[in-house]
Structure 1
Amino acid sequence: MSRVGKMPVAVPQGVDVAITAEKITVKGSNGTLVRAANPLVTVQNNAGVLTFTPANDSAAADAMSGTMRALVANMVGGVSKGFEKKLSLVGVGFRAQAAGQKLNLQIGFSHPVVKDMPEGIKVTTPTQTEIVITGADRQVVGQLAAEVRAFRPPEPYKGKGIRYVGERVVLKETKKK
């Protein structure tokens, strides 16, 4: 059996988990997340502790039990604490401004780039060169951060562009004569 799938998920105070044959619903202070249940995995809620067991002895059911456990653990963590990704802009004149559910970027193009944020995602700009994306769904937060970074990824010669906070960009040496 999967090592990850064997570990139970503790449900913190203030988080409600509803398990049906078709879906798993997790409600908390940061919102509600719903995921389709997999028929290869049986999920049980025993007094605030979720356990995941494969429905049969196949390798697919074993692997899916670990996957479902990780996904549900991320849902529980998202509705209780939330997830955040931080981005920084490196470059002369690069600016970001959050306006409601829109993110306006001036990143060296002749036009400003505007990115709309989906429901449940909050974007803030503490300074003009920092972007903080927060939300309950880990996958959506990470995907949005990757999409914003893809507008202007760091280039390898000067390092200009949008990068994750803490990301190391290895700079290349310029061409020699």
Structure 2
Amino acid sequence: MSRIGKQYISIPDKVTVKLEGQKVLVDGPKGKLTRILPSFICCTIDEAERKIFLEKGEDNKLAQALYGLSRTLLGNMVTGVSTGWHKKLKIAGVGYRAQLDGKDLVLNMGYSHPVKMITPPTLTVSVENPTNITVSGMEKEIVGEFAAKIRAVRPPEPYKGKGIAYENEIIRRKAGKTGKK
């Protein structure tokens, strides 16, 4: 039995959730999100207590797998429209920097050319200083995916730690070469 699927989702103030068959519409101060739930999953909304409950319609392996996933995706939608999601990246290395060109991100990462990354329309990218990037938006999957694409331009290397890393990422360092004796 899924322990995550059993948990209810509390609906914050200023957020409205509507159910149209298997389609869930979540509306909040940051915007609107919709998702179609699998046919195995039944969703009920308690308007008085402002909670969302999920149940399995069938008792098979696929329904079990989608039970906890659907609850997590709905919880991420509610959080996204109320507070939003963000990922912070830090750039380490001499001469490595980031800047904004309109809405797009331009990275100078030691290649022969600057790397231009086109920002998806639902996201906002901000550069506080040339070594700190913040990606924010409503949909957790898109925020995480775009942050991973930025990191993939120059992942942190284990010898000097140069590259693009997430804010709280721990980079395991290796010892360098030792001289001959």
**TM category, shorter:** over 0.9
**Structure-to-structure mapping, 1:142-161, within 5 angstroms:** 142-161=144-163
Q: Counterpart in 2 of 1:111?
A: 113
Give how far 1:36 is off: 1.8
Match runs of 1:1-177 below 5 Å: 1-47=1-47, 48-176=50-178, 177=180
Distance 2:103 2:40 in 1: 38
Q: For residues 46 and 102 of structure 2, what CA distance do their matches in structure 1 show?
A: 41
Asked whether the equivalents of residues 96 and 106 of structure 1 are also in contact (C-alpha less than 8 Å), the reply is yes
How many residue pairs match? The answer is 177
SS at match of 2:129: coil
Partner-residue secondary structure (3-state), 1:105: strand
Shift of 1:20: 2.0
Q: Which amino acid aligns with 2:80?
A: G
- Secondary structure of residue in 2 paired with 1:53: strand
Do the aligned partners of 1:93 and 1:108 also contact (CA within 8 Å) in 2?
A: yes
**Cα distance in 2, alignment partners of residues 168 and 132 from structure 1:** 18
Runs of 4 or more, structure 1, over 3 Å off, are none
Please give the TM-score of this superposition, normalised by the length of structure 1: 0.95
Asked whether the 8 Å contact 1:8–1:49 carries over to 2, the reply is yes
Q: Describe the superposition over 1:92-139 as per-residue Cα deviations: whole angstroms up to 9, x where unpaired.
A: 011111233200111111111110111120000111100000011001
Is the partner of 2:63 in helix, strand or coil? helix
Q: CA deviation at 1:22?
A: 4.0
* Alpha carbons 1:101, 1:118 under 8 Å: kept: no
Q: Percent of counterpart pairs with the same letter?
A: 40
Aligned Cα root-mean-square deviation (Å): 1.2
What SS class does the counterpart of residue 79 from structure 2 fall into?
A: helix
Stretch deviating more after TM superposition (164-173 or 72-81) = 164-173
User: Could you give the per-residue CA deviations for residues 37-84 of structure 1, whole angstroms, max 9, x where no partner exists?
Assistant: 110100011112110000012232123121111100000001000111
Q: TM-score, normalised by structure 2?
A: 0.93
Partner-residue secondary structure (3-state), 1:125: strand
Contact in 2 for aligned 1:21/1:37 (Cα 8 Å): no
